[in-house]
Each structure stands twice: as C-alpha cells, then as structure tokens.
Structure 1
Amino acid sequence: MFRTMIYCLSILSVSLSCPADEKEPVKPEPIQVKATDWPWWRGPERNGIANPDQNPPLKWSATQYILWKSPIQGRGYSSPTVAGNRIFLASADTGNETQFVLCFDRSTGKQLWKTVVFTGGLSEKGNKKSTHASSTVACDGTKVYINFINDGAAYTSALTLDGRLIWQTKITDYIIHQGYGSSPAIYQDLVIVSADNKGGGAIAAMNRADGMLVWKIDRPKTPNYPSPIILEVAGKEQLLMTGCDLVTGIAPLTGKKLWEIEGATTECVTSTVTNGEVILTSGGYPKNHMAAVKADGSGEVVWENSNRMYVPSMLIQDNNIYSVTDNGVAVCWDVTNGKELWKGRLGGTFSSSPVLVGDRIYVTNESGETYIFRASPREFELLGENKLGTEVFATPTFCDSRIYMRVSQEGDGKRQEMLYCIGRK
C-alpha cells in the first residue's frame, strides 16, 4: 500500500516552501508508521478497526484506570492521532481567533508544543455542534497534516514533527453551512483532502513533501462532510466519496473517476466501509438513507433502507455490519442482503464513531458515556458502560491496550477539554 512512484506532472501550488513555477515535485520521504500507531482518521486501515492484539479496559472512571490526563487548549472535535511517541490534536480558540495543532508526549501526556496555523479569519456561521477544529490530524511519520477553514477558504497545512509549519495549500473557496470536519488521507506520495460546500467544492491531492497540487476534481455546489477514504474494493484500491447526491469511486494516484452513480443523499458525514465487494453509504439529509453499492464499476445498489447513521461511521467484520444510529441504537445487519440480525438500545445521542477492538465495539455518546458491546451476529451483548466528562464528540483512539479520549468537562459555567489516557499500568 505504501509503495512510491515518480510523478511526471506539471503542477502549481500555494506553498510556503516551493516557488509556484517549480515543475518537478520534491520526492516525499517514505511513510513511517507502525502497527501500534493510529496515524490518521479511522485508524491504520481507515475502517475503524484497531489492532486486535490488545486488551483495553472494560471499566474506567475519573479515578480508575486513568494513566494520565492533560488539559487541551481551546475547543475542537479532532480525534487523537498517535504516531511514535507523540499524540497530535487540532484545536481552536475563538477568544483570540486562532487555529492550531497541539502535540503531547504519548507516555506522560506532557504538552510538547503548540503551533498556531491561523490567526483571525474565523467564521461565526455553522451548526452549534461544530467547531473550528473538527478535522483529525494525519501523520506519515515525518510530518503532520491538518485541514482548516479560514477566511472563506479550505486549506491543508503540513508541519514537521517538532511543530514547524513547512507548507500550506489552498484547496478551494468554502461557504460554511453546518461546519467542516473532513480529515486528510495519506496515500503513497500524496495527501488527499475534500472540501464539499455550497459554493462548489473540490477533492484534491497534494505532494506530501511540498504541498504541490497533483490533481483536483471539482464537486457539485452542495454542502457535504465526509472525509476521503481509500479502501481496497472490487480488486483495487479506490478513493471513495459519498454525498452531494452521488457515490463516487476515484483512482487515488491520478484523480481519474472510475465510476459514479446518483445515490446516497445530499449531505453525508460518515466514512464509508467495505467488505471488498460493496461499499456502504449512509446519510441524513434530506432523508435518512443507507445502502450497499457495488464498487466494480457497475454502481449497482444491492440493497437499501431508511435507517439514520448520519454522523457515526459504521464497521464491517466477517460480512456483518455493526453500527450505532444517531439516536443511540446499536444494530447488526448482514452486509450481503441488508437483513437486520439484532438491535439493542444504548442511550443518548451519538456523534463519535464506534471502534472495533478484537471482538469488542467501543462507542461514546455526546454525554461522555462509553458503551462496549460484543461484535457478534448472534445477539446484542452489552459488556460495559462507563462515564467520563460531560461531553464527547471526538472518536477515541486505541493503541497498545490504551484508550486516548478527548473529553470536555463543564462546571461552574466553565468548559475545559482534557486528553485522557486510559489503561492498565
């Protein structure tokens, strides 16, 4: 997956490090992430499945199994990115109008650095649940990449592991509707991003080394929120996008459309998953919708229903789909025919996505309650229920039997975000 190639494209870029008239992109360093890392959104395999060779706790509290906790400056829903001995988060402070990246020591939780990427340019528009730092950082082992909306445009920025800003590329103008939360995807020599919006957005790929644009696809003028996801399906690796009333398969190295059909809904949030034969689409506006679509070029819709998985992404294991609806119902379906196998009531409203660790699924609601249930098609089996903080929107990260959680605590009219490391000593 992480093989390299030589580009023979004439390209332009808005970059801090390279002149715009340079014709040959700089060769990026090889991707250097470990199996014990969680280097980007939805984990190493981009599907919400953690390394199964770990055993994170089933029970915890504010005092039990907390190895360390660190305050997070500002506000954001960026999930923890873990690479090497570092943890990265994006955040924003509306008081001084800054958007920044934070780095913490993985072992101790000590903050190592803070790099301000933008000052000023924050919009007051957006859903009350959105923030100015909802994208999750991606790390290739030598640099970190982050998306921000600032001053009416979408930008991707690259920083060194010690926090030095080295390039920044404008992707497209951006009109905020609900907000923005699309996270960068790393693929071979590229970092790939999306920025669908009412003004007409784009999907774009940049050279990881210098931010120079390699390819770019214009998108319809509709709001939409998924991150670009690269998965192997129908015998090839495809960049998959849902929403804008479309389902699209793209060759990630070139930007060539492999296939595209009308489908999904106008606005989607979830990141698609696959069993290798079909991909799952789900949306929540203007209607609730879920479907299994063949990604072999035919675009055939195998089955569909009207369930609402608008924000939390789904999981697939052994041809079984596991999901949590926005209103707190865990459900299991057969991916081949869409048959419901079981459902179980959890509680609360969910924006965070479930994560599969071995045969356990961990998912956290907006009130900070984490439910753990068995990944089994036979029946719904609740294994644990834990409470931490008063608000959680970010998806937890699982590495080396430890759970890294971004949690908000509110009290006495004040709100403070914390980064928790949960595990056994």
Structure 2
Amino acid sequence: MLRLLSLLVCLFIAARLQAEDWPVWRGPTGNNIAAPGQNLPEKFGEKENVVWKIRVPGRGHSSPIVVGNRIFLTTADEKKQVQSVVAFDRTTGKQQWKTDINQGGFPDVHKANTHASPTIACNGETLYALFHNHDRLQLAALSLDGKKQGDVNAGAFKPQQYQFGCGLSPLLYKSLVIVPLEYEQGDMAAFEQKSGKEAWRVPRKQITFSSAIVAPLAGRDQLLLSGQGNVQAYDPTTGAQLWSVPGATAATCGTVAWEGDMIFASGGYPDADTVGIRVSGTPEVLWHVKEKCYEQSLLAHNGYVYGVNEAGIAFCWRGSDGNEMWKTRLCGPTSASPVLADGVIYQADERGKFIAFRETPEKFEKIFETRIGDEIYATPTICNGRMYLRTADGSGDERRETLYCFGKGTAASP
C-alpha cells in the first residue's frame, strides 16, 4: 500500500511539472505537445489576449523554457560578441537577471542563424546552455538565480563544408547532459550533470544539425538522431549504437518525432525525404515520402504526422503508411516547428505570420491567422495556460526582439 501511495504521489508530481513547466527543447515529454487542459484563447495577436510582453536584449533563435516562476532564453550581442543567458519573471515578464557566458570567438554562421540558437535545458535545479564559440561547443551550467556553476568544452565544432553555425539543443537524460557535435570530424558526447565529467563519447563524423531526443521504444529508452542518410538509435546511458536504417538524406535539422512503435524523420539536403520507421522487432523503414521538412521538426499524434516545410507548405500524413491526408499552403518561409495544445496546432513563419489550425486528418481547418512582429524563428512554448513566443521587429541596427506571453486574463502564479 505504501509503495502504491508513493507511486501515485510521484505520478501526480510528474503530471503537475509537465502541466506547469516546459524545461527543455520540445517540452517535458520531448514531442512538442502541451499537457491537456491549457485553455488558451480562441485567438490572440499583437494586441489581443496579451498577458504581457517584454523586450529581449540581443539576438537569438532559442525557444523559451519555463521552470517554476521563471522563463529562460539564450541571447547574443553580436557587435560586442557576448553570449548570455537571460531570465524573466513568468508572471509579469520583468527581466530578473542576465548572465554573460562568453565573449569573442564568434564563428561565421548562416545569415538566417544566430549565435544563440540552442534552447536551454533544465533539470529543475540547474540550467545547461550551449554556445558555439572559439571553434568549439561550450556547455555552461548556471543556477536558477543566474550564478555560474561551471562550464566544459564539449568538443571541437569546426564544420568545413557547411559553415551554418550551431542550432542543436542539449538533451538531459537521467544524470547526463548529451550534446551531438556533428561535422566532418565530429562526435557525440555525454557529461555528468553535477560534475561536468565526460561519461561517454562516440564518433558522429557527419554533417548534420539535428538535436537528439530520447524516446521509450521497444521496451527501452533509445537516443534518436538523423543525418548522413540514416536514422540511428543509441543507448543513452553508454552511447552504444543500437541500430541504423537508411532514410532522411544527408543533412537534417529537425528532431526525430515518435509515437507508439513508430518514429518519423525528415530532411533535408541535398535530397527531400520523409520516412516512417517501425522500431518494434527489427527496425525497418515502412514508408518514404519525397517531401522535406528540413529545419522544422515533425509532430506525431493520434496516428498522424504533421509537418511544415521551409516554403510554408503544411502536410498531414498517416503514420502507419505515409498516405497523404491533406496538403496546403500555410504560410511563408518557415524555420519554427509546429506545437500542439488541446487539438490545435500552432505554426509561425519567418515573416511574423502566426497561424492556428485544428488537428484534423480529414481536412485542413484554419482557426485564425495573425501577424506578430516582423520575424519568428523560435518555436512557441505552451504551459500552464500560457503561450510564450519570441519575435523580432525591424532590421539591422533597428532590430528589436520581444518575448510575448499570451493567455486568458492575468497570469496565475505557478
């Protein structure tokens, strides 16, 4: 009886954390799906259902994470070459602190990238922020109050063929923080969260830009990555490769999605390929579709897969066989990934257009369309009845970033 009570308490706490926090890239369950019961407004925009908005210093494409009563972002002052972590009050939006992590050593990056694109990961006590500088990836640890707790050189990161910069986010698994460092001479490494000591490192000598994810598949946790024409799984505890199947082209940026015993990956460059892979038994590719969601991650739910490509075309495929359910022009050029809350999928494009549509495989059904700023690259975050969205207005020296909080009424304390 005592064991059952303890289990129920643990499940209750976990559910509460999932409902109120969004501590890592793609949320607490790793699938970009908000906990049920968000009760977001039917519509919102620059002047509609705005709980608060606040200026964000610098420039970055990282998505906000939410832990306790704070929101955390990475940002970069590109003129001074300073990379920082910033915290905001979740209830009011007021900036609470800003901690500089690195100065100098900024690499050349793609014009659509920034020097603060990886999303922070948090285990509830410590923030883990990843920055590309001085031809390496720097993994920094901070307290929730912004005090530096140390950093490690995660490894060299010196791509030669594609000097696009870094956009992958660190991944937390049990006591580890995992970082892919994929380029011509790259690898993937895991570090102890408390000490920064390297736990394992395996070769990943390939050019790709995807964040890793851990999914419960075939009775065990599997660390998933795509790139170099393959989708691969590793043991997240040891780094040992579990399997590899062909698919998703050479260069990919999106995170692998999954549901049940199926995983889904898309890319990329130079070819277009979206694949569905069954993992139970011997992993095998069940279907290919010659479409690509290159920078954007897919969304898998209730037996269907939703994706938006870089040109703003939205797709719905049946997860079991890849059958196209519908396809529509949704928006303009797109980098952000779709996020789901209570049967509604939200998508932003690079020109500030923001669209909501229903999670319906039978047909595309738009709910509303608005414009929020001049550009949106970061994926929205949804938790505790609020959506947090990073946007920008203007260009050049006049460019300014804003963090919006949308919701009904005033913000409730978590």
Match of 2:235 among 222, 241, 251: 251
Q: Which residue of 2 aligns with 1:24?
A: none
1:421 aligns with 2:405: yes
- The one-letter amino acid of 2:197's match is M
Q: Distance in 2 between matches of 1:58 and 1:368?
A: 19
Q: Which moved more, 1:146-155 or 1:275-284?
A: 275-284
**Aligned pairs (5 A) from 1:18-57:** 33-57=17-41
Over 3 Å counting, the alpha-carbon distance change for 1:41 and 1:174 in structure 2 is same
1:288 touches 1:308 (CA, 8 Å); kept in 2? yes
1:160 aligns with 2:143: yes
1:258 touches 1:297 (CA, 8 Å); kept in 2? no
Q: Distance in 1 between matches of 2:395 and 2:204?
A: 43
1:192 touches 1:203 (CA, 8 Å); kept in 2? yes
Q: Distance in 2 between matches of 1:333 and 1:261?
A: 21
Q: Which residue of 1 aligns with 2:122?
A: 139
Q: Which residue of 2 aligns with 1:102?
A: 86
Give the Å deviation of 1:246.
Answer: 2.4
Q: Distance in 1 between matches of 2:204 and 2:330?
A: 37
Give the Å deviation of 1:206.
Answer: 1.0
Q: Which residue of 1 aligns with 2:195?
A: 210
Match of 1:322 among 280, 295, 306: 306
1:33 touches 1:141 (CA, 8 Å); kept in 2? no
| Secondary structure class of the residue paired with 1:35 | helix
Q: Which residue of 1 aligns with 2:96?
A: 112
Match of 1:181 among 147, 167, 172: 167
Q: Which has the higher helix share?
A: 2
Q: Distance in 1 between matches of 2:228 and 2:84?
A: 29
- Name structure 2 gaps, 5 residues minimum: 1-12, 410-414
Match of 2:264 among 280, 299, 302: 280
1:194 touches 1:204 (CA, 8 Å); kept in 2? yes
Write the deviation string for residues 229-262 of structure 1: whole angstroms up to 9, x where unpaired.
Answer: 0111222211000002321111111111111234
Give the Å deviation of 1:33.
Answer: 4.5
The alignment yields a C-alpha RMSD, in angstroms, of 1.7
2:232 touches 2:245 (CA, 8 Å); kept in 1? yes
Match of 2:351 among 367, 375, 382: 367
2:233 touches 2:242 (CA, 8 Å); kept in 1? yes
2:72 touches 2:87 (CA, 8 Å); kept in 1? yes
Q: Distance in 1 between matches of 2:229 and 2:139?
A: 25
1:99 touches 1:133 (CA, 8 Å); kept in 2? yes
Match of 2:324 among 340, 344, 347: 340
Match of 2:182 among 172, 187, 196: 196
Q: Distance in 2 between matches of 1:208 and 1:34?
A: 21
Q: Which residue of 1 aligns with 2:362?
A: 378
Q: Distance in 2 between matches of 1:337 and 1:140?
A: 37
2:19 touches 2:34 (CA, 8 Å); kept in 1? no
Q: Distance in 2 between matches of 1:412 and 1:238?
A: 43
Give the Å deviation of 1:191.
Answer: 1.0
Q: Which residue of 2 aligns with 1:356?
A: 340
1:194 touches 1:228 (CA, 8 Å); kept in 2? yes
Residues matched between the structures, number: 393
TM-score computed with the length of structure 2 as normaliser: 0.92
Q: Distance in 1 between matches of 2:209 and 2:194?
A: 26
Over 3 Å counting, the alpha-carbon distance change for 1:401 and 1:147 in structure 2 is same
- The one-letter amino acid of 1:99's match is Q
- The one-letter amino acid of 2:111's match is K
Q: Which moved more, 1:31-40 or 1:276-285?
A: 31-40
Aligned-pair identity in percent equals 39
- The one-letter amino acid of 1:166's match is Q
Q: Which residue of 2 aligns with 1:60?
A: 44
2:247 touches 2:274 (CA, 8 Å); kept in 1? no
**Aligned pairs (5 A) from 1:68-87:** 68-87=52-71
Write the deviation string for residues 13-39 of structure 1: whole angstroms up to 9, x where unpaired.
Answer: xxxxxxxxxxxxxxxxx9995531000
Q: Distance in 1 between matches of 2:78 and 2:306?
A: 37
Q: Distance in 1 between matches of 2:71 and 2:23?
A: 9
Structure 1 segments, 4+ long, off by >4 Å, are 30-34
TM-score computed with the length of structure 1 as normaliser: 0.89
Write the deviation string for residues 3-60 of structure 1: whole angstroms up to 9, x where unpaired.
Answer: xxxxxxxxxxxxxxxxxxxxxxxxxxx9995531000001111111011211112322
Q: Which residue of 1 aligns with 2:7?
A: none
Give the Å deviation of 1:70.
Answer: 1.1
